[in-house]
Structure 1
């Protein structure tokens, strides 16, 4: 317990040091017509996640050299390219190449390559890169990434401790502590910092690694549903944009959380809390249910999708009526 307190304090001090650097070198997020915020805010606060892994490596050097080295290389590579992209835009070819290499290192770390036939590997690459980008798409308002991440990590910590051990406890705890430090500065009406690509990609990579380890250990693919809320929103939003013949790779404001924040003027913190609590309810049902995955999926997605579509249609009608007026 003392160790975790010291790590928390260390992370707290280090993120403050980053703020000084970001302020000096003007690493900021300027709001534009697509933004859900209106004030200039420090960008890249999510750098606390790769920093947390570096500290984890220092205190667990032997385990990292034996087990976690490929995860660490993948995490640091994807965080580095994401941080550079936060500061100055990189070409898509560079980003996707690093993402591909990082995912390969992650699959090596989780034992997926040795456990699965070669013809399945491409599906894992597509799913993981898609999930990473979905995590990035959903990082748009104060508290969203931090709160959702905290719920997911707490669920994984509970599963690891009380249901089935699939990784070293510290490997989850360091991510949890980093998430709490980030939330302290981001879960505010006027956020001190945003995660940036380095944060959303970094913690997304860490969570995917943990969930993949869990799936490899249990051979239970229902744990993919720990990303239910994010997954459903991103998939439905992409379908909507494809139907409207929009470029799905361009920035937009069609996510439900964006409409709630921008059109309904709801509090960012309320929206983020609702998303996180919704996922928490799903997680509690998921880990305590004995139903097979094919029965769990409709139980989760039919009501969740119905609420999503109802709210989306109401908000779109409101936007259309305001334009007409």
Structure 2
């Protein structure tokens, strides 16, 4: 598919350019006691992904394919918001307002008030879930590749062109960025990248829902991202810890810190599990797919404790 290949090549080519620019302007992630990394690394790599996504959209337009301009524009705007947060730590209120407005705008253009209200919930949810989960090498690039390929398949088979265009752009950008982020990170996505990918996911799901595509399949690759985010936030709320402060409490972070898995093994495990759950929703009966998803999520959420029990220890902190 030309759009996917274009996005991949452009992202891959722009990544060293962006890395040099981030180093020159001091956009560096400096590790602290809450980090999952040990070396200062430039962030802002999401700009290379932006270039890839825009290039893919250009190819789709050149091929006279229906390009979802509103969803792509919202993704670009939120990428800018993410980069502003990378540079100057925007307030939570400002970030949330931008995400809600983006969802309202895309939903309104797509299908009126009802779709706008769905967008106002979907965009902040997707953007923040991806942002919270982007904490180790390769995890977001691999998961977004799975989501992108899924969106291509759903968009083509369910005849919603905008969905497969977004899917191709997303998968290509994720795969093009991956060599710069894993197994050794030379560049981080930053909030510019996580906001971009979160907005692309939200836009693809919103377009799919409005166009009658299988939303359950489109959402399936994110099941572990969503479960990890909400379980972690619930645990922190129970312990009366600040929800938005930096931490290493996510399941995938504890898989690295407590169980001792590498970033690569952890990221691949999450991505492969996401692909398996998605496959269940594509080929299995709804009841079987639902049961498989629930069991898979429960095993994921409890995997650190299970690993501790297997080794004869009880702590998973």
TM-score, normalised with respect to structure 1: 0.85
Contact 2:57 2:165 (C-alpha < 8 Å) held by counterparts: no
Partner of 1:105: 105
1:195 to 189, 201, 211: 189
For residue 222 of structure 1, report the CA deviation from its aligned partner: 2.2
1:218 aligns with 2:200: no
1:251 aligns with 2:246: yes
Spell out, residue by residue over 1:72-107, the C-alpha distance to the aligned partner (whole angstroms, 9 max, x if none). Answer: 331121111111211222223322222122112232
Unaligned runs of 5+ in 2: none
Partner of 1:96: 96
For residue 38 of structure 1, report the CA deviation from its aligned partner: 0.3
- Greater C-alpha Rg: 1
Partner of 2:125: 130
The alpha-carbon distance between structure 1 residues 137 and 7, as it changes in their structure 2 partners (threshold 3 A), is: closer
For residue 33 of structure 1, report the CA deviation from its aligned partner: 0.5
Q: Distance in 2 between matches of 1:41 and 1:8?
A: 22
Matches for 1:297-308 after TM superposition, within 5 Å: 297-308=290-301
Contact 2:44 2:189 (C-alpha < 8 Å) held by counterparts: yes
Higher deviation after alignment, 274-283 or 40-49: 40-49
For residue 253 of structure 1, report the CA deviation from its aligned partner: 1.3
For residue 276 of structure 1, report the CA deviation from its aligned partner: 0.2
The alpha-carbon distance between structure 1 residues 290 and 140, as it changes in their structure 2 partners (threshold 3 A), is: same
Q: Distance in 2 between matches of 1:252 and 1:240?
A: 12
Partner of 1:311: 304
Q: Distance in 2 between matches of 1:159 and 1:86?
A: 33
For residue 147 of structure 1, report the CA deviation from its aligned partner: 0.6
Q: Distance in 2 between matches of 1:156 and 1:219?
A: 10
Aligned-partner SS, 1:235: helix
CA RMSD of aligned residues (A): 2.9
Aligned-partner SS, 1:263: helix
1:179 aligns with 2:199: no
1:166 to 160, 164, 167: 160
Contact 1:67 1:109 (C-alpha < 8 Å) held by counterparts: no
Q: Distance in 1 between matches of 2:64 and 2:71?
A: 9
Partner of 2:228: 233
The alpha-carbon distance between structure 1 residues 269 and 14, as it changes in their structure 2 partners (threshold 3 A), is: same
The alpha-carbon distance between structure 1 residues 3 and 264, as it changes in their structure 2 partners (threshold 3 A), is: closer
**Which runs of at least 4 in structure 1 moved beyond 6 Å after TM superposition?**
62-66
For residue 12 of structure 1, report the CA deviation from its aligned partner: 2.5
Q: Distance in 1 between matches of 2:194 and 2:3?
A: 26
Q: Distance in 1 between matches of 2:170 and 2:40?
A: 27
Aligned pairs, how many?
A: 313
Contact 1:151 1:280 (C-alpha < 8 Å) held by counterparts: yes
Partner of 1:204: 198
1:79 aligns with 2:79: yes
Aligned-partner SS, 2:292: helix
Spell out, residue by residue over 1:198-242, the C-alpha distance to the aligned partner (whole angstroms, 9 max, x if none). Answer: 111101111221122222222644233331111111111122112
The alpha-carbon distance between structure 1 residues 15 and 225, as it changes in their structure 2 partners (threshold 3 A), is: same
Contact 2:228 2:250 (C-alpha < 8 Å) held by counterparts: yes
Contact 1:73 1:102 (C-alpha < 8 Å) held by counterparts: no
Q: Distance in 2 between matches of 1:243 and 1:64?
A: 52
Spell out, residue by residue over 1:114-142, the C-alpha distance to the aligned partner (whole angstroms, 9 max, x if none). Answer: 5x388xx2x54234312211110000000
Contact 1:259 1:315 (C-alpha < 8 Å) held by counterparts: no
Unaligned runs of 5+ in 1: none
